[in-house]
Every structure is written in structure tokens, then in C-alpha cells.
Structure 1
Amino acid sequence: MIPPDLPVPQTAICAAYQRIAPWFAATRTAPNPPMEAPWLRAMLAHLAPGEAVLDLGCGTGEPLAGFCLGAGHPVTGIDGAPAMIAACRERFPAMDWIVGDMRGLDLGRTFGAVMAWDSFFHLSHDDQRAMFPVFSAHLRPGGMLLFTSGPAHGEAVGVMDGVAFRHCSLSPDDYRRLLAGHGFAVEGHVAKDPDCGGHTVWLTRKEG
């Protein structure tokens, strides 16, 4: 059964991803293994067999959700662009894919891991700060949070398929304070990881 979609504000980011969805689906494919694989393996190593993952800003489901599914972990995905969710439903029809806004999300259940890869950093600084209670509410004690950010405080504009996308980041110290304040321990952090396409990656664990 497909879960009901959730209200999504018409943000510029959602509109931009909706516009580039065909290009994104064609180019964001699943190399074997994907460059994100070491981080995904480190996250999944903390999960019980078959434990579920929540993917916030799941895009078209590849390669992250697909990797988790291939490792035996069911995925629930949230994305604000209906075209992205349509691609997920076509690729992985047995999973739960929901059009929705990660901000203020309340699914009423917990997961073994939450991912916000190349999605969380599109939120404003204030919206990012407000996401940490959302992360915590959707994780069991000991659950893993994997997200990407910028390497330093600031804003930048990137371009995909001719469409501009805003990126925001807090400072590493701000992220560490927010994580600690919401009961997360940092298990791994690399700024501009050269083995992962220059992504700045955080792997954290909810204590308790």
C-alpha cells in the first residue's frame, strides 16, 4: 500500500528538482559500488539484519536507497518533488515513497538509520537547526544519522542541468553543538572527502 503523500510548500528547491527530474534520473545511476559505499557500509554495520532506513530527500532512489535495499534493509523515502518520488515508485515499487517535506516531519515511527545525503544542505540555516529534533524523533536509541553539509558556514549556488540550486551550511562547530545537544555522538566526519567526490560527510549515532 502506498502511504499518503504529505503537504509540501512550493519551495524553489522542490520546483528545481521537479524540473530536472528526467535528467537526474538518467544521470544519478548506481555504479557498483557507488562512491558513497564506504559511508553506507559504516552506517549499515550498526543496524540489525533487515532493519529499516529513512531517506530524507531520497531523489530517484539511486544510488543510496538502492544500496541499502541491496544490503537487505527496507527504505522509506521522502522527497518534495513528485517526479522524484514517481521514479522511486517505478524502480522500487515494494518500498514506501512519500511526497513530503522533511521539515517538521512526523511519521510516528522510528528507524535504524536516517539519511539526509545531498538534501539537508538545501535548507536554510534556521531550518537545518530545526531538523535535529526531527532526526532524533525518527531514530531508535543507537540508530545512525548520515548527512552531508558544506565544509564551513556559508551559502553557495550550484548548477545542475542548467538550473541553480542554493546550498547552505553551518560551521562544523555548530553541527557538533547541535548533535551533542540532541544526544548524538559523532562516529565519523570528513570534510571534502577525497574518496567521496569531495562531500563533507557526518556519520553519527543517537545515544541511549
Structure 2
Amino acid sequence: MNIAAGHISRRLVLGACLALGLAAPVLAQGSDDAVLKSLLPDSYIGADSAPVSLIVYSSPTCSHCVDFHANELPKLQEKFVSTGKLKIAYRPFMRNSLDAVIFMLAHSRGADKFDETVSTYMNKFDELAAAQDTEQAVRSIAEGMGIDKAGFDKAVADQPYFDQLNAATKQAQEEFKVAGTPTFFLDGKQLEIASSFEEVGTAVEAALPKP
């Protein structure tokens, strides 16, 4: 289920009913246009000098994003990132109010803990999906990272950052033609994922400079 940025409101973020959603992998649109600078700053994993860059538009409540994060990302990090060949940036993409809450909590912990916070929620995906009270489950996970009730409430009341998330999601949809998550851009061009996320690694290998 894809939710346009304009359909997400602060009222939904602060509401007690937070819904999990699923999205299918996105196929490339065949565009050769390079991805322009995001409205939110990119934070790359890997060496700045890496010859290949991968941008991933991701949602922490997307089962396919969770699958990529758990199964394929470690392989990419071991084979390409740790060897200085690839750098990876995750860009937030809001599909529902729970995404917004998680990104806002991550932002509240600072740039150095943003990816760690989102990863923690991805690792707890099954727990969140099975929770009878999703809001309480989200709060409990936040407490485990040192975010108390006051800190949680302050984070999700950050209207300026919420507006930035909305704008960045709208930019992804309208400028970069991101229709769902995960969506991958390798060296500025959208990747076509036909059947398996292993294709990302194959594409990275092909993009590396030849000796």
C-alpha cells in the first residue's frame, strides 16, 4: 500500500491507532535522470571515496525493506562497503503514520544514531506486526533505546521535521518517480528489480570500475 505524502497528517502521527502496511518491490521506470540532492541530508555508510554509490528509499514498516535489510544489506556491506568499493545512503520514505513516528524518533536521537534507530525498529518488525497495541509496542522499543515518555512525545510533536519528511517523500514521488519501497538508485539511476534483491549486488559488481 502506497500512501502519498499529502495524506499523512500530524494528527495521524499523534493518534493512538498506528497501522502497519506492506509494499511490493518497485520496478525501474527506465529513467536515465540522475537523482538530485534530497531535501534531507544523506548520511552514507562507507568511504566517501567509494567509486559506486547506492541510494535506497526505505520504509521501516515495509516487509520487503526489512527483508533487504536483514538478508542482503549485510552481504553488500561485507563484500563492497568494507572494501571501499561502495557507499550506501538510506533515504526516509513515509508510507504511513508509523513510518513517520519511527523517523521522527530517529531524528530526535541525532544524525549519528538515525540509522541505528531505524534498524532497531526493522529488527522488531515481527513484534510490531503482531502487537495488539502498536503504539505501546513502539513506545516500549523506544524506551529500550533510552527514549522516555517525555522524549517520545516531544519527538513526535516536532512539526518542522515532520514537514521536512513530508516534503522529502513528495520530492521522491514527484521528482524521482519513487512509487513504493524499497527503491534503489545506483550511481543516480533507478535499478530494475525483477525477482530478487540479490540483483542489487549483481548491479553493484557491474558498476565497479574495471581494472
Normalising by structure 1, report the TM-score: 0.29
Higher normalized strand content (fraction of residues): 1
Normalising by structure 2, report the TM-score: 0.29
Higher relative contact order (CA 8 A, sep 6+): 2
- Which structure would you say has the larger Rg? 2
